[in-house]
Chain A
């Protein structure tokens, strides 16, 4: 069996005194691809944000172990430095720092080593071309005025540059046209190939999963995982929806 990358045990979390996650158990092996599916409002994004240490969500019970380290209650930056990454559903705009400088800062912060400007620039350009990104975006302020598709590509660009051991993709395919979904999927493929990290894909559709090999599927309803299965479960949900899980 592969090494365990992420182990979530009986995780409970609340926001503004309202419990959203009622005890989640989840184990992701190193390099595996897991999908969390579920209807709107099931707590999928809450799960992603809680794993990432979002201070708005209070962990009221359970434990999160990441690469063998207990990260329950750690601050977001420490979790990120431990090798976790989240691609945001709605990436925020940050004026005053270019996409290129931000990625350079983040990579240097992560590795603790200064990058040579020229080497970094070449790597960045190459990675941007994989994502069909216009190179001029590198010199634009982080996400400022980016279209929805460009914002998502910028997220995947950061994923590829930061090389985390676990990437949480929160609704990365939402609001994208067919071509953009293809590009983002290619980027995720590239991450699997070149970094070999694990993926936790949060989605309520299946478009982004078509070209990916999925190891495990988990159905989240009302803050609980109500069903687990292999990759074929995605197709089942695709055809039949969530009804049978909700009735359970």
Chain B
């Protein structure tokens, strides 16, 4: 690698550059009321061509949004301008259509390091039009369709033959009453994916939302709804390792996963939002008898994250596996973990998380495992490990357990450690630089996720770790 390529810094974005500074050019100001009004929500609904029930749903969500308070228990989100939430929902057209020149330099550099082609870079940065992978997406879509699998955007699905299915599931698992940002999502959601895998269909290639990033509004309030019918199998991959840049710095997406009897869904995510982002995403799965949800999650980006994918094990013998890695660098406060509710006999959950903090980053593991009185014979094993790369970073573990039956088997282990100097010396004695040695150790630490990802994603994740580790020495 040439010397000039070594100087990557995945530094933090100076957010002041990207806030919407309406005051600067008064002629550009949107004439909007403070806060979100029913009129604005109706306008969104109209633009998207919602059916009537969805229009009503949005309005109801808005009412709930206005009643709920911002959560006070997690990382500080006072940097979000909650008094003028409209700026996040309807940023000026001009900004949305921003061109490649306006994309922050560090993101461009990262694209370069990750070897992503120019056309895709522009698209991922949200500034490009159509690009090559659109074709790939269509191929995947056609191949899935030949198996009877539906893979489309939610907006189209609302009007097609699956309209009733959407209506029966949309925000039933994550109701707008869940929390303020779920309500916000209900009111202003836009874009996302709908997947339906029919009974007994085993989809042996993953569906990737990567190809769908061009969808209007995708990547901010997008909704993902996946229904895997009885005995079927599906692997869905959300995001990619390229940093996603968005002019608005609030992400409040929602993911609802329905896993029917005997079905298995694997949901993989590599998330690398730009580092000015408040990532307040809600993900939830309900698993019926003998079904299984497998979460594989890598969180690298954003300024602040609240992310706790939840699994409701609702049928006898339902299973959940949750495997994650969180990497909090300078200026990042990533509060991640998972929730599991054992709500049927003989259900099991296996949670294996790793968190890494560096350069003053804060990484918090937060989880809640609830075993209901009816969940006799259930098992839960939680293992969380943290790696702190220096003395100024922070790592916390907050595992909650609410066990309401004596007839269950619950285990929990937590470890916090540092990089062992002996290992660094050993690797360097084979010719690896200190930086490469540390990056290799960190990649190895994150291997719980790496080995669960498809190869190209695992390689990307390791590249990402390498980039994050650049400049970590002295």
Contact = CB atoms under 8 A, between A and B. Distances in A.
| A interacts with B | yes
A6 B450 CA distance: 42
Given A97-B440, A97-B443, A97-B444, A92 B423 contact: yes
A52 interface: yes
Interface stretch (A74-82, A129-137, A219-227, A234-242): A74-82
B431 A110 contact: yes
Interface string B412-425: 00000000111101
Given A88-B426, A95-B447, A96-B446, A109 B432 contact: yes
Contacts of B447: 95-96
B427 interface: yes
Interface of B: 420-423, 425-434, 436-437, 440-441, 443-447, 450
Most buried by B among A54, A86, A96: A96
B440 A85 contact: no
Contacts of A162: 430-431
A241 to B, nearest CB: 31
A94 interface: yes
B458 to A, nearest CB: 10
A94 B443 contact: no
Contacts of A55: 421, 425
A109 B437 CA distance: 12
A46 interface: no
A54 B422 CA distance: 9
Contacts of B428: 53, 75-77, 80
A106 B431 contact: yes
Contacts of A76: 425, 428-429
Contacts of B432: 77, 105-106, 109
Contacts of A86: 429
A118 B2 CA distance: 26
Contact count band on A: 20 to 34
6 contacts: A75-B434, A77-B433, A86-B429, A94-B423, A95-B444, A96-B450
Contacts of A62: none
A109 B441 CA distance: 17
Contacts of A85: 429-430
Contacts of B445: 95-96
Contacts of A109: 430-432, 436
A177 B31 CA distance: 83
Contacts of B426: 88, 91-92, 94
Interface string A12-37: 00000000000000000000000000
Nearest to B422: A92
Contacts of B440: 94, 96-97
Contacts of B433: 77
A56 B421 CA distance: 9
Contacts of B437: 77
A158 B450 CA distance: 25
Given A94-B444, A96-B440, A97-B444, 20 more contacts: A52-B425, A53-B428, A56-B421, A75-B434, A77-B428, A77-B429, A77-B432, A85-B429, A88-B426, A88-B429, A92-B422, A94-B423, A94-B440, A94-B441, A96-B443, A96-B444, A96-B445, A96-B447, A96-B450, A110-B431
A228 B432 CA distance: 35
A115 B429 CA distance: 20
